Amino acid sequence: MGDTIKVGIADYAICKSPDMVTTIGLGSCVGVVIYDQMTKTCGLIHVMLPDSTRIRANSNKAKFADTGIPLLLEELKKKGCSGRGLRAKIAGGAKMFEFTTNNNATNVGEQNVEMVLTQLKKFGIPVMAKDVGLNFGRTVLFDPSDASMKITAAGKPPKVI
């Protein structure tokens, strides 16, 4: 049995089978896993915001979708994972509170998902599965040995994508 690596908010980790990687309590944040099934290696990043260019304090690249995805790819490349074998699965991007005001901060989840998909497309990485949006938090556990992403949410049966 391997270990389970825990990734916090605005952070990332690289993980190789038999280890697994998890991130807990994704609200409007998005958990992105990029994996390579040949080497059974993956990287998970927990991004908070879509666009680093709109924020002054943007030194933490893992916080933003636009800088986080390139960072994750770079780290995967260091482990010998790059090119056409890479695939992605994503989860999160919920809208936790239902506000009637049209404040753009309230649909940051949607913007996060959009930016993640844009970045993955830009680098030519196919998205094999996603569980995004709606109004509940998610915990994800990714197993690089079979590329399965287990998603648990409060009061719902767990699902695997």
Partner 1 sequence: MGLDKGDFNDVQKDILKEIGNIGIGSATTAMSFMFHSKLTVDFTKVLALEFDEVLRLLGGEDELAVSVLSVFEGDADGMLLFIMKKDQADNLVNMMMQTHEQIEGYSDMQQSAVKETGNIIGGSYLAALESFTGLKLRLTPPQICIDMAGAILSVPVIQFGQTGDKAFLVESSFDDEEYDINGFLLMVSEFDSYEKMCAVFFPEG
**Contact residues for partner 1, defined by CB under 8 A:** 8-9, 24-29, 48-49, 55-57, 94, 96-101, 103, 105, 108, 135-139, 154-155
Smallest gap from residue 82 Cβ to partner 1 (A): 31
Residues 6 or more apart whose CB falls under 8 angstroms from that of 74 comprise none
In the residue annotation, 29 being an active-site residue is answered as: yes
Smallest distance, partner 1 to C-beta of residue 72, A: 19
Task: Let me know: does 37 contact 89? Beta carbons within 8 Å.
Answer: no
* Least CB distance to partner 1 at residue 81 (A): 28
**Residue closer to partner 1 (CB basis): 23 or 41:** 23
* Residue 57 or 84 with smaller CB distance to partner 1: 57
Q: Does residue 147 contact residue 37 with C-beta atoms inside 8 Å?
A: yes
Please check whether residue 38 is in contact with residue 85, taking contact to mean a CB–CB distance below 8 angstroms: yes
Token pair 């994704």 is found at 26
Q: Is the separation of the CB atoms in 92 and 29 below 8 Å?
A: yes
Question: Among residues 39 and 106, whose Cβ is nearest to partner 1?
Answer: 106
Catalytic residue positions?
A: 29
